[in-house]
């Protein structure tokens, strides 16, 4: 069962208390069981990493980091058909970007194929594995059910010599794909179904991205994973809860092969609402063209979040806040956004941009005149300094900052209203011009020369402050606004309905006629800015190059507009 977790809005005082896995680590170091801990992150290179993986990464790398340990990056490449170098490269890039280094080394399960083969042979020699020639359906039937024991295969009692010979033949390619398998000989009556003589090797002729055609037999996950942990000297092998039922098998192999006793510990996987988190389903979004690639800014992938403008620190803060639990739950997507706002509010420079521009004319400001007004780069960080904003008679303002009719609660522009232009002057409504179809095109105001921000002695009160951009120096840009990719909180939780049915048709809004202040000419792709009153944005290198003009992504709005 899952439960919803609301997210914290404040920095409550939290004395760091150890989560249950860290407690094990601390105890193992204190007792001398291990002098140094050694963890690993074992992705299968069959897709890009997502925010769920980030949680696993932060846990394994984070523990090693804070306890002077080692951590390996291990590509679990036992399924050649679905894996590729593109994914390996993307995984490396994403882990590095999160700020981690695999100081214990980079490994591939395929590095260990010889050792794994030797382990399998050892099991056969000890009478603990056998070659089975039955088809998959028959073996499944013999497995029994959780409430009834299975039955032994007729091949279970083959001699060691015969099994050794058959296994060598499997390796040599003497048998067609699927013709036979190697099984561990454990107990067909075991209450744990995974212990009922699990398959440990299968024949599969497919080209492997690293070992080519050297092998036509491949180890199964359960046989590869734990043994690689041992071979690499992993002390704490941390994985998600679905592997809990595999743990007895993990330990059976260690015991029966008499190898380094890595310890598997499980934790709850990260689930986020309005999101899907399986690589297989994310691949479908890409292949079916619902998104613009694995790194589409709406994707819950690390590369998508990076492109959207998330910072490594915000993702690490998020993982930290989610915590390590033993019970599955669903986290609000808005916690992720909170973590980004929290980081960027402290660090991002401010700038002004108008996304839906209409003209704002200062009728008493002389034509042809201009001046430069200082504006602070970050009110949270005085050391960030200020920049000069060009100001003149013709400006751009936001369309929805003007109303033809407004009541007392409207603090923006309207007939009769007075507002401050951010870092500039107080202005008062004079007039506005509409097109034939009724659309407002221009708003005319007069300004008060002695109301300049920082040296205001006009005595005039303005309740609202509007952002603006000087027309003659504005940069034309496109801005992409993103919303949840799915409109349903649990898109893959509806029986009989495909998750793609719940895609949010409004997840992307393109504003093609935006005006940015000229200082953003110097902006680097990926550097976050707060656009005053609008949210956090960063320039998208790839989209800008494709479009031939600057394209900016909105990373997150200033406030949580999605309570739901
Ligand atoms: P997916 O189901 O998305 O394809 P996976 O578990 O098959 O994910 P792997 O590449 O095998 O992907 O995962 C590498 C590691 O990341 C595993 O140890 C796995 O437990 C962990 N992991 C995967 N998804 C999550 C998640 N949502 N939360 C926490 N850890 C996760
Ligand atoms: Mg997996």
**What would the two tokens of residue 16 be?**
């760091």
Determine the distance separating the centroid of ligand 1 and the alpha carbon of 60, expressed in angstroms: 13
Ligand 1 pocket residue status of 44, Cβ below 6 Å: yes
Catalytic residue among 92, 93, 143, 269: 269
Which pLDDT score is estimated for 6? 43
Q: Which domains does the chain have, with CATH numbers?
A: 36-267 (3.40.50.620), 279-347+477-516+523-556 (1.10.1160.10), 350-474 (2.40.240.10)
Q: How far apart are CA 53 and CA 106, in angstroms?
A: 17
Determine the distance separating the centroid of ligand 1 and the alpha carbon of 25, expressed in angstroms: 22
Catalytic residue among 171, 185, 263, 279: 279
Q: How far apart are CA 455 and CA 275, in angstroms?
A: 49
Which pLDDT score is estimated for 83? 87
Q: How far apart are CA 111 and CA 96, in angstroms?
A: 22
For the chain, the helix, strand and coil percentages under 3-state DSSP, each to the nearest 5: 30, 25, 40
Which pLDDT score is estimated for 10? 42
Q: Write the CB contacts of 328 (distance below 8 Å, at least 6 apart in sequence).
A: 1, 2, 241, 268, 269, 271
Told to judge if 35 belongs to the known catalytic residues of this protein, a careful annotator would answer no
- From 240, 245, 247, 326, the mutation candidate for ligand 1 (largest count of ligand atoms within 8 A of CB) is 240
Q: Which helix (H) or strand (E) holds 263?
A: strand 263-267
Query: DSSP characters for 200-239?
Result: EEEE----BTTTBTS-SEEE-HHHHHHHHHHHTT-SEEEE
Which pLDDT score is estimated for 560? 77
Which pLDDT score is estimated for 79? 86
Determine the distance separating the centroid of ligand 2 and the alpha carbon of 19, expressed in angstroms: 24
pTM of the model: 0.93
Which pLDDT score is estimated for 81? 85
Which pLDDT score is estimated for 14? 52
**Which residues have CB atoms below 5 A from the ion given as ligand 2?**
44
Ligand 1 pocket residue status of 53, Cβ below 6 Å: yes
- From 46, 51, 53, the mutation candidate for ligand 1 (largest count of ligand atoms within 8 A of CB) is 53
- From 56, 62, 301, the mutation candidate for ligand 1 (largest count of ligand atoms within 8 A of CB) is 56
Q: What is the pLDDT along the chain (564 residues), one digit of tens a residue?
A: 344 444 444 444 455 689 999 999 999 999 999 999 999 999 999 999 999 999 999 999 999 999 999 999 999 998 888 888 999 999 999 999 999 999 999 999 999 999 999 999 999 999 999 999 999 999 999 999 999 999 999 999 999 999 999 999 999 999 999 999 999 999 999 999 999 999 999 999 989 989 999 999 999 999 999 999 999 999 999 999 999 999 999 999 999 999 999 999 999 999 999 999 999 999 999 999 999 999 999 999 999 999 999 999 999 999 999 999 999 889 999 999 999 999 999 999 999 999 999 999 999 999 999 999 999 999 999 999 999 999 999 999 999 999 999 999 999 999 999 999 999 999 999 999 999 999 999 999 999 999 999 999 999 999 999 999 999 999 999 999 999 999 999 999 999 999 999 999 999 999 999 999 999 999 999 999 999 999 999 999 999 999 999 999 999 999 876 553
Which long-range CB contacts under 8 A does 26-34 form with residues at least 24 apart? 26/67, 28/235, 28/236, 29/67, 34/235
Closest CA to 42 of 314, 262, 255: 262
Which pLDDT score is estimated for 12? 47
Which pLDDT score is estimated for 179? 96
Determine the distance separating the centroid of ligand 2 and the alpha carbon of 44, expressed in angstroms: 6
Q: How far apart are CA 412 and CA 440, in angstroms?
A: 15
CB 512 within 8 A of CB 481: no
Ligand 1 pocket residue status of 278, Cβ below 6 Å: yes
User: C-alpha distances in angstroms, 393 versus 444, 466, 469?
Assistant: 10, 16, 11
Q: How far apart are CA 190 and CA 518, in angstroms?
A: 71
Ligand 1 pocket residue status of 42, Cβ below 6 Å: yes
C-alpha Rg value of the chain to the nearest Å: 31
Ligand 1, atom 14, lies closest to the CA of 43
Ligand 1 pocket residue status of 239, Cβ below 6 Å: yes
Q: Is 556 helix (H, G, I), strand (E, B) or coil?
A: strand
Q: How far apart are CA 353 and CA 466, in angstroms?
A: 11
Told to judge if 269 belongs to the known catalytic residues of this protein, a careful annotator would answer yes
Determine the distance separating the centroid of ligand 1 and the alpha carbon of 225, expressed in angstroms: 13
Closest CA to 558 of 540, 539, 532: 532
């Amino acid at each position: 069962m899952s439960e919803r977790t609301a997210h914290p809005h404040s920095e409550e005082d939290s004395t760091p208390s150890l989560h249950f896995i860290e407690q094990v680590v601390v105890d193992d170091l204190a007792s001398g069981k291990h002098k140094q801990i050694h963890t690993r992150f074992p992705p299968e290179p069959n897709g890009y990493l997502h925010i769920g993986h980030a949680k696993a990464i932060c846990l394994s790398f984070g523990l090693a980091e804070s306890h002077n340990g080692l951590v390996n990056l291990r590509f679990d490449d036992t399924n050649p058909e679905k894996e590729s170098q593109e994914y390996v490269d993307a995984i490396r890039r994403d882990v590095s970007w999160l700020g981690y280094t695999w100081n214990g080394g980079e490994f591939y399960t395929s590095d260990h194929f010889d050792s794994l083969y030797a382990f399998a042979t050892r099991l056969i020699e000890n009478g603990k594995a056998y070659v089975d020639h039955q088809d998959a359906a028959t073996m499944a039937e013999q497995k029994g059910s959780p409430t009834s024991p299975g039955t032994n295969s007729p091949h279970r009692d083959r001699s060691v010599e015969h099994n050794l010979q058959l296994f060598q033949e499997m390796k040599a390619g003497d048998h067609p794909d699927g013709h036979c398998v190697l099984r561990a000989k454990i107990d067909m009556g075991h209450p744990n179904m995974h212990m009922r003589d699990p398959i440990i090797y299968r024949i599969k002729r497919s080209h492997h991205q690293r070992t080519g055609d050297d092998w036509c037999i491949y180890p199964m996950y359960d046989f590869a994973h734990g043994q690689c942990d041992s071979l690499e000297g992993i002390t704490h092998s941390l994985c998600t809860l679905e592997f809990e039922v595999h743990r007895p098998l993990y330990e059976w192999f260690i015991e029966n092969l008499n190898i380094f006793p890595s310890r598997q510990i499980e934790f709850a996987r990260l689930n986020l609402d309005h999101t899907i988190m399986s690589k297989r389903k994310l691949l479908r979004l890409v292949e079916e063209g619902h998104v613009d690639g694995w790194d589409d800014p709406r994707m819950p992938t690390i590369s998508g979040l990076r492109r959207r403008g998330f910072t490594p620190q915000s993702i690490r803060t998020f993982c930290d806040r989610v915590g390590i639990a033993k019970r599955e739950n669903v986290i609000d997507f808005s916690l992720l956004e909170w973590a980004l706002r929290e980081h960027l509010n402290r660090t991002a420079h401010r700038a002004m941009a108008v996304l839906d521009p209409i003209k704002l004319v200062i009728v008493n400001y002389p034509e042809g005149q201009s001046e430069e007004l200082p504006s602070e780069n970050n009110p949270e960080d005085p050391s960030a300094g200020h920049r000069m904003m060009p100001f003149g008679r013709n400006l751009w303002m936001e369309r929805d900052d003007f109303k033809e009719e407004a009541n007392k609660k409207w603090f923006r522009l309207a007939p009769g209203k007075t507002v401050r232009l951010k870092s500039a002057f107080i202005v008062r409504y004079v007039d506005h011009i509409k097109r034939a179809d009724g659309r407002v095109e221009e708003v005319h105001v007069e300004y008060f020369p002695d109301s300049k921000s920082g040296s205001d002695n006009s005595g005039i009160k303005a309740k609202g402050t509007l952002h603006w951009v000087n027309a003659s120096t504005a940069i034309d840009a496109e801005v992409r606004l993103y919303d949840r990719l799915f409109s349903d909180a649990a898109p893959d939780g509806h029986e009989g309905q495909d998750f793609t049915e719940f895609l949010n048709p409004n997840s992307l809004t393109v504003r093609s006629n935006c005006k940015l202040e000229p200082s953003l000419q110097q902006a680097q792709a990926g550097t976050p800015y707060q656009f005053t009153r609008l949210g956090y944005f960063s320039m998208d290198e790839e989209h800008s190059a494709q479009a031939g003009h600057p394209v900016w992504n909105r990373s997150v709005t200033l406030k949580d507009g999605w309570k739901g």
